Amino acid sequence: MSTQDPPSPPLNWFAARIADAFRKHYQTPATVVAAAPGRVNIIGEHVDYNGGWVLPAAIERWIVAAAAPREDGVVALHDDRTGETANFLVTELGRTPQRSWSNYVRGVLAGFTALGLQLPGFSLTISSTIPLGGGLSSSAALEAVVARILGQLFGWETTPLQLAKLCQRAEHDYAGVPCGLMDQAAVLMSREAHLLLLDCATEAVSFVPFSNPDWQILIINSGVAHELADGEYAKRRAACHQAASTLGVKSLRELDSSCLPGIGRILNEEMNRCVRHVLTENERTIQAVAAFGRNDLLEVGRLLNASHASLRDDYRVSCAELDFIAATTQQIEGVAGCRMTGGGFGGSAVALVQSAVIKSVSNTVTSDFAARYGRSPEIFVTRPAAGAIAWSILQEEIL
Ligand code: ADP
Ligand code: MG
Is 246 within the bounds of a domain? yes
- Rounded Cα distance between 320 and 158, Å, is 42
Same domain? 57 vs 73:
yes
Q: How many helices (H) and strands (E) does the chain have?
A: 12, 12
Cβ 184 under 6 angstroms from ligand 1: no
Same domain? 224 vs 151:
no
Could you say which of 48, 72, 173, 183 is catalytic? 183
DSSP state of 37: E
Same domain? 166 vs 298:
no
Same domain? 126 vs 229:
no
Same domain? 176 vs 297:
no
Same domain? 261 vs 156:
no
Please confirm whether the linkage preceding 10 is cis (ω < 30° from 0): yes
Cβ 138 under 6 angstroms from ligand 1: yes
- The CATH number given to whatever domain includes residue 159 is 3.30.230.10
Starting from the CA of residue 142, give the closest ligand. 1
Same domain? 323 vs 377:
yes
* Number of structural domains in the chain: 2
Same domain? 141 vs 233:
no
Same domain? 166 vs 234:
no
DSSP state of 2: -
DSSP state of 143: H
**45 C-alpha vs ligand 1 centroid, how far in Å?**
20
Same domain? 180 vs 236:
no
Same domain? 189 vs 306:
no
> Is 183 one of the catalytic residues?
yes
Starting from the CA of residue 40, give the closest ligand. 1
- Give the range of the structural domain holding residue 175, as residue numbers without chain letter: 11-207+386-398
**319 C-alpha vs ligand 2 centroid, how far in Å?**
17
Cβ 31 under 6 angstroms from ligand 1: no
Substitution site in 84, 101, 126, 179 for ligand 1 pocket (most atoms within 8 Å of beta carbon): 101
* Tens-digit pLDDT string for the chain (399 aa): 344 566 666 788 898 999 999 999 999 999 999 999 999 999 999 999 999 999 999 999 999 999 999 999 999 999 999 999 999 999 999 998 888 899 999 999 999 999 999 999 999 999 999 999 899 999 999 999 999 999 999 999 999 999 999 999 999 999 988 899 999 999 999 999 999 999 999 999 999 999 899 999 999 999 998 775 568 888 999 999 999 999 999 999 999 999 999 998 999 999 999 999 999 999 999 999 999 999 999 999 999 999 999 999 999 999 999 999 999 999 999 999 999 999 999 999 999 999 999 999 999 999 999 999 999 999 999 999 999 999 998 755 544
Q: At residue 38, what is the residue type? A: G
Q: Which atom of ligand 1 is nearest to the CA of 135?
A: 3
Same domain? 157 vs 51:
yes
**DSSP reduced 3-state for 284:** helix
- The CATH number given to whatever domain includes residue 296 is 3.30.70.890
pTM to 2 decimal places: 0.94
- Rounded Cα distance between 15 and 338, Å, is 33
Cβ 142 under 6 angstroms from ligand 1: yes
Judge whether 349 and 341 are in contact, CB under 8 Å. yes
Cβ 90 under 6 angstroms from ligand 1: no
